[in-house]
Amino acid sequence: MSLYLRHWKAHTAVHPEFRLLYIKSIESLKSATGISHTRNLATAVEKSEPESSSFTFSSGGEVEDEKTKKDGSIFVKNPSASTRDTSTVTMPMSFMTGSVIGKRFYKQVSTREAEDGNGWSVMLDYRTLKTPSKRPLKLPTLSLAKAIAAEWEYQENDGIRPFMMPLMQLACTALERVPLTRMKIIEHLMKKFNQDLIFCRAPGDNDLTRGVYEKQVEKIDPLLDWVESEFGFKPVVYSSFFGGKQDDGLVNVIESLLKSTNDCELAAIDAIAAAAHSLMISIGIFRGKLQIEEAIELIRLEEDLQLDRWGLVEGGHDLDIADLKVQISSAAVFLGLSQRS
């Protein structure tokens, strides 16, 4: 972990609180999921993965020979002046879903400015990293490139684990999915808007939700007041699972905000909203109203009250908490690092 910390401390400008909470979240998830047991299964998982799980190596745009395509073997030439700048390695499609995608094949991770001068690239030894769709991984800032390089550097020799690289996954989403499906992403977010978590209020006269209403008033009402002052429309609060209808003016201004975002911003907002079940909490982080820990507290408000009352189930609730911390903190860090100063 020391190398991972050195990368971020030396090269990223994200707020120290964000960086620390993100690293703690990764470590808690690693501990909760029993990563040591996963290592023992690395070989078995690799054998069960389809051919699409193999990394693809190319040099100077050359096409791989038939033998390489057939048996998945990898032939790597020593770097030379003519091939150093054109050699690439493409991640497999299973990177976005797989648990282990092969053993570590590189020794050194570095960053450099993209060949066209527009963005920054991650280098695995002398090879430029590409996305699963074989597009150059060009990141908007050096800070984000250094953070993603740290994720690759932190990988163990016995297997590359995508679930330990949330920033890399968000980068692939921003570069590949968002440009093609931007309007569908926005439509999906707005479709869920009326059922947003912060608009739902627990009934105050129900024994099962005793204390929840008071806690929501204490913790969520300040965010509702901020929404009104920030966007000029008072949110409608309801106590039905089916939701209520928000003012058309508020709906339109939030939709306009989403349309004005760049690809990295929309990818981060979508990731936070999916984990939080709340677009407004995601926008609160995006606009600087909420810190990571404040957002997590709001998301888990009702469930934490239930845990205080009935107790925590080990291997269940603790995993959910660790996973939520990773999802929210990684997306918030990605958002901060992707913004050009």
What is d(CA 134, CA 39) in angstroms, rounded to the nearest whole number? 28
Using alpha carbons, select from 63, 176, 156, 59 the residue that is nearest to residue 102. Answer: 156
State the architecture of 86-164 in CATH terms: 2-Layer Sandwich (3.30)
pLDDT of residue 206: 72
pLDDT of residue 90: 80
Q: Residue 113's beta-bridge partner residues?
A: 120
Query: Which ranges constitute the DSSP H helices of the chain?
Result: 2-11, 16-32, 35-40, 42-48, 66-71, 142-153, 166-172, 178-191, 212-219, 221-231, 248-259, 263-276, 279-286, 292-299, 301-310, 317-338
Query: Boundaries of CATH 3.30.2180.10 in the chain?
Result: 86-164
- Supply the pTM of this predicted model: 0.76
**CB burial of residue 149 (10 Å; 0-12, 13-18, 19+):** buried
- Homologous superfamily of the 177-338 domain (CATH): ATP12 ATPase (1.10.3580.10)
What is d(CA 20, CA 233) in angstroms, rounded to the nearest whole number? 35
Write down how long the chain is: 341
pLDDT of residue 237: 93
Q: DSSP secondary-structure letter at 200?
A: B
pLDDT of residue 312: 86
Query: Boundaries of CATH 1.10.3580.10 in the chain?
Result: 177-338
Q: Is residue 128 within 8 Å of residue 87, measured between CB atoms?
A: yes
User: What phi and psi values does residue 129 have, to the nearest 5 degrees?
Assistant: -75, 135
pLDDT per position in the chain (341 positions), as tens?
A: 333 333 444 444 444 455 555 555 555 555 554 544 333 333 333 344 443 445 666 655 443 444 334 443 333 334 444 434 447 778 777 676 667 888 899 999 999 999 888 999 999 998 999 988 888 899 999 999 999 999 999 999 998 998 899 999 999 999 999 999 999 999 999 999 999 999 998 887 677 777 888 899 999 999 999 999 999 999 999 987 677 889 999 999 999 999 999 999 999 999 999 999 999 999 999 999 999 999 999 999 988 988 888 888 888 888 999 999 999 999 999 999 998 76
pLDDT of residue 181: 96
Using alpha carbons, select from 239, 249, 250, 295 the residue that is nearest to residue 269. Answer: 295
pLDDT of residue 83: 39
